[in-house]
Homo-oligomer: A and B are copies of this chain.
Amino acid sequence: MQQVQVGIFLFDEVEVLDFAGPYEVFSRTRLTPGVESRRSDETAPFKVFTVAAESRTITATGGLRVIPDYDFAAAPPIDLLVVPGGFGTRALLHDAPVLDWIRRTAAGAVRVTSVCSGALLLAQAGLLAGRRATTHWGALDLLASLDPTIRVEANVRLVDDGITTSAGVSAGIDMALAVVEVMQGRVVADDTARYMEYDRRLPPTAR
């Protein structure tokens, strides 16, 4: 089986659930339903890995220390890019290597997604120009100010307009399940949610 390569971007002060929610969803999806299929990767349609600018340990919000799988230079091709949010995004809004990497990776990806204030990085990289998009409720104004051509939507769980942006923190779980549904079908997405004992919120714009 050809696995979809899922690259999750990590950086200092990334919000824990922003990356851990999609990480959980994509890494635990199986084409065979139930619990036992999760003991191996045999029917795993996604291969998940983390990428950071450098290979050093990342400190997420709250102090959680995560070792990225790859730095920018060593990362394999990415089919599905996940850009999480967190207060750490603010320091990256003028980080040229990060924005360049996001732009280049997005150009080669089948699908580009963000969680929470990760949308700010996509906007600053120019990827949301002219598109509808959303972000954490506390970052909606900042998102609009970064690029006035973005049609910022409030009070939605996610927006899919070529690029998939989601609302804050926990909305990344719904975003990831929505992507699983688009790529692997509703039965697989619902089984993954059942495994996680997660009641999916129907994203009003994407379903």
Say yes or no: is A21 at the interface (Cβ < 8 Å to chain B). yes
CB neighbours (8 Å) of A199 from chain B are 201
> For chain A, what secondary structure do more than half of its interface residues adopt (helix, strand, loop), or is it mixed?
mixed
Say yes or no: is A102 at the interface (Cβ < 8 Å to chain B). no
Copy number in the complex reads 2
Report which of B16, B34, B136, B195 forms a contact with A197, defined as CB distance below 8 A. Answer: B136
A49 near B27 (CB under 8 angstroms)? no
Complex CA distance for A20 and B172, rounded to whole angstroms: 13
Report which of B39, B65, B169 forms a contact with A198, defined as CB distance below 8 A. Answer: B169
Count residues on chain A whose CB falls below 8 Å from chain B CBs. 41
Report which of B24, B50, B57, B87 forms a contact with A20, defined as CB distance below 8 A. Answer: B24
A35 near B138 (CB under 8 angstroms)? yes
Q: How far is the CB of A110 from chain B (nearest CB, A)?
A: 20
Closest 4 CB pairs of A and B: A27-B62, A20-B20, A35-B138, A168-B197
- Give A contacts to B, CB under 8 Å: 15-17, 20-21, 23-24, 27-28, 34-35, 38-39, 48-50, 57, 61-67, 69, 87, 136-138, 167-171, 173, 195-199, 201
